[in-house]
Structure 1
Amino acid sequence: MLLSFRIWVKRVAITIFILVIALVSIGGIYEQVARSRVAKDFPAPGKLVDIGGREIHLNCEGNGTPLVVLEAGADTSGSALWQPVQEQVAQFTRVCSYDRAGIMWSDPAKGRRNSLAIAEDLHKALRAANEQAPYILVGASMGGPYVMTYTKYYEKEVAGMVLVDASHPEQTARLAQATGEPESNPIPIAFRALAAITWTGLPRLVLPDAEVPELPSQTAKAITAYQTTSLAAAFAEAAVFEDSLREAGTFRTLGNLPLAVLSRGKPWSAFSEAEQTAGGLTREQFNRAEAAWASMQAEEASWSSNSTHQVLADSSHVMQLERPDAVITAIKDIVGKARRADANP
């Protein structure tokens, strides 16, 4: 009887193992087919530029100088979130958005994806595409430290800068101190697991669609379609988040470089109850955090003697979607200052 039971258990275990292997294999085939379909249905809007064995997606429009370069924040959407801004900036000068390595249409890269590696990639991509300096660098959120790092190493190429609610080198510690909350892991374990098994097709089935009403539906669909393949790259950047902030923090003197700083100012009362709950902070904690953020934004404006600072009381963090008009106006102002400086050296 015992022997029969053991044989039965063994057969069940073997059957389950075979089923798991079959399901994983089917999932892997499904993911490969899905990726082929996505590449066909959502082709890159710009061009793929070879920077030495891998390609970076660079999307440029318009004519004129200086060239405006749009650097996205730390997520899986890449250049797509800049669409409302880029279309309007292209009316008065040349403008390029791009996807960092592994995000959206760009090939992944090996090694640490810190701000220095990102600056080097951007420099190579602009050179390979024959895009000419000087550049106006526009950095949103974590894109702020990235453009500061670029300016540190390629300062002669930069004619101006716009920081769009940009991250500050000391934000992690200062926000933790303001809220009384401990510093958290930037990548939850569940998301790490999803990034590790994208090849099985499971993340494509369980991740929610991107909801970005400010963008055309086709663009939002493209973000959804590519988010599973962009996860690993976004997490690779998050893993060295503090290293990138420290690198950017070593360069905070822009001299008289034209600089515009845009900062969020949306109060607690302007958020819905669901948004307030999702933030995970009490009203008091939120207000302390926003006060700390405002202080850091004012510090960023002090990095140049030729700067402006605007606080947008009707916008939260992603203001290139919430207030693209303000971002466009700030870029136009910096472009104008750079042109006048070039005409009167």
Structure 2
Amino acid sequence: MPAATSTAEAAGPTAERAPHTGPIRWIVVGSLLTGLLLAAVLSLVVFAGAPEHVITGSALLGFAAGWALLAVLSAWMTSQPQRWAWVPTAGLAATGLGLLVVAPGDGGLTAAGWVWPPALLTMAVWIGVRIRRALAAGSGRWLLYPVVVVIAASAVGGAVETVGLASDDPGRAMPGEVYDVGSYRLHLNCTGSGGPTVVLFNGLGLTSANWARVVPGVARSARVCAYDRAGQGWSEDAPQPRDGNQAAADLHALLQRAGEEGPYVLVGHSIGGDHAMIYAARYPEQVAGMVLLDATDPYRVGGGPPSAMAVLPSLARLGVGRLPPTSYWSTLPEPAAGQVRMFNANPRGWRNVRDEIATLPALLTQARDLTTLGDMPLVVLTAAGAEDDPARLAGQERMAALSTNSSHRPADAGHGALLDEERGAASSVQAVQDVVQAVRAGTPLL
């Protein structure tokens, strides 16, 4: 009997601990991975390219499913039921469904930023306490604590982003004016004097502030206008993303409202070059010359459903865009660098990038409507690196062939450096000045 008792006593503690260390670790791992996988599938596949509220709402539903799985399986398969997991399940599911049903716009999502970060931080602290109380040591706590840290960091980042958006005041630093072109207003900033007036077209993800190194050089000898398409910079949002033809009509109305008379020299950087080509095709009588600064090749297929890019506005709500310094966003002098960061680091800036990628196939197709510029002065400036890409170089040469009075020039600067850096901007300014002079003199380009 003593031996049997001794054996039972020795086995007792092991028998009591076994349920605690049984499948609970695998349940924790499986629940976390399931929630992460569902959030990724819903936001990147099922609702790929959807508006911000759909992406965020669907991701929250995926995470809620993971917490629900932890609550159900831990109660069913172990002696350590994690009933507290129903609280984050309910909170995330209710918020996700609310976003999908209410469908708030940018203003509503920004206003909600004053509410959800403190609520999420409170939930993170509460979850941390419940994990310590409900999950035995050695049963997988260490798997859940990093999740708590991520939740808390998201809450802090969301608060920082909300405060940052409130402190950003684009109107205070806005050069130029905004003009009504229908149901929204567009920004236009013109400076300098002397014809023909130069009109600058922004590239993907850029704003009128990105031309800060180019505008002064051009304005010394001609009037120059930088503007923001709908959804960019200081311009208001359009009800729906605009394709190239619609953006050209917007610009035409904007220049008329502002009293800026043509014909114009159109200067486009990156996809701004394609926008310039579309404007020339639609309003040929309003165009006197053109400069394409490493323009996107319209003869190649590009763009499409922005599945991954559509997640970026939601991530920006967590303040990730404010982590890098201003120099990451731009090497322009102040205040332009700060303006570029202000516009590019926030959810609206990334939403504009998403929308322009989505409309890129239509944009390139519409740019091909421009089949000739006749003998109009045209400079095609190609960024460094094209010599290693025959297809890219062929596209640049094909654009230069649009005019019998053209000059195709290689630049000793990268794509972004044509605007951002002094040497690249100087090459861009020279190209514009050459076209302006050729228009004025009625002579061929040198």
Q: Same fold (TM over 0.5)?
A: yes
Q: Give % identity.
A: 31
Amino acid at match of 2:116: L
For 1:79 and 1:324, locate their aligned partners in 2 and report how far apart those are by CA, in whole Å: 14
**SS of equivalent to 2:311:** helix
Q: 1:320 aligns with which of 419, 422, 446?
A: 419
Aligned to 2:370: 251
2:239 maps to what in 1? 110
Q: Which runs of 4+ in 1 moved over 3 A?
A: 8-12, 15-33, 183-188, 200-210
Deviations 1:168-193 (A, max 9, x none): 21233xxxxxxxxxx7867452x311
State the match for 2:253 in structure 1. Answer: 124
Q: Is the 8 Å Cα contact of residues 294 and 415 (structure 2) preserved in structure 1?
A: yes
Matching of residue 74 in structure 1 with residue 74 in structure 2: no
Partner of 2:123: none
Written as runs of structure 1 = structure 2, the 5 A alignment for 1:300-315 is 300-312=399-411, 314-315=412-413
Q: Which SS does the other structure have where 2:183 is aligned?
A: coil
- Cα RMSD over matched residues? 3.1
Native 8 Å contact 1:186 1:239 kept in 2: yes
Residue by residue over 1:199-230, the C-alpha shift from the partner in whole angstroms, topping out at 9 and shown as x without a partner, is x4545456774525641143222222222121
Alignment of 1:23 with 2:104, yes or no, is no
Q: Taking structure 2 as the reference length, what is the TM-score of the superposition?
A: 0.62
Once residues 170 and 233 of structure 2 are traced to their aligned partners in structure 1, the CA distance between those partners, rounded to angstroms, is 14
Select 1:94's aligned residue among 212, 216, 223.
Answer: 223
TM alignment of 1:1-345, pairs within 5 A: 9-14=82-87, 17-18=90-91, 23-24=116-117, 31=161, 33-39=163-169, 43-75=173-205, 77-172=206-301, 187=306, 189=308, 191-196=309-314, 200-205=317-322, 209=326, 211=328, 214-227=331-344, 228=346, 229-266=348-385, 287=388, 290-312=389-411, 314-318=412-416, 319-322=418-421, 323-341=424-442
CA distance in 1, matches of 2:322, 2:329: 19
Q: Taking structure 1 as reference, are residues 13 and 163 closer, same or farther at Cα in structure 2, changes over 3 Å only?
A: same
1:120 positional shift: 1.3
In structure 1, distance between residues paired with 2:234 and 2:211? 15
- Aligned to 1:251, the other structure's residue is in SS state coil
- Alpha-carbon spacing, 1:144–1:15, altered in 2? closer, same or farther (3 Å): closer
Larger radius of gyration: 2
SS at match of 1:125: helix
Runs of 5+ consecutive residues of structure 2 not aligned to the other structure: 1-74, 96-114, 120-154
Secondary structure at the counterpart of residue 221 of structure 2: coil
Displacement after TM superposition at 1:146 (Å): 0.5
User: CA–CA distance in 1 between the matches of 2:118 and 2:189?
Assistant: 36
Rate the CA distance shift 1:250–1:185 in 2: closer, same or farther, 3 A. Answer: closer
AA paired with 1:338?
V
Q: 1:163 corresponds to which letter in structure 2?
A: L
Q: Structure 1 residue 34: deviation in Å?
A: 2.8
- Superposed CA offset, 1:291-340 (max 9, x none): 2111111111111111111112x222222334111211111111112122
Deviation digits for residues 71-114 of structure 1, max 9, x if unmatched?
Answer: 11111x31122111101111101001111111121111122421
Count of residue correspondences: 307
Contact 1:194 1:203 in 2 (8 A): no
Note closer, same or farther for the CA distance 1:33–1:130 as it changes in structure 2 (3 Å cut). farther
Structure 2 counterpart of 1:48, which letter?
V
CA distance in 1, matches of 2:282, 2:395: 23
Determine if contact 1:69/1:135 at 8 Å carries over to the other structure.
Answer: yes
- The alpha-carbon distance between structure 1 residues 203 and 187, as it changes in their structure 2 partners (threshold 3 A), is farther
Specify whether residues 316 and 171 from structure 1 end up closer, same or farther in structure 2 by C-alpha distance, changes over 3 A only.
farther
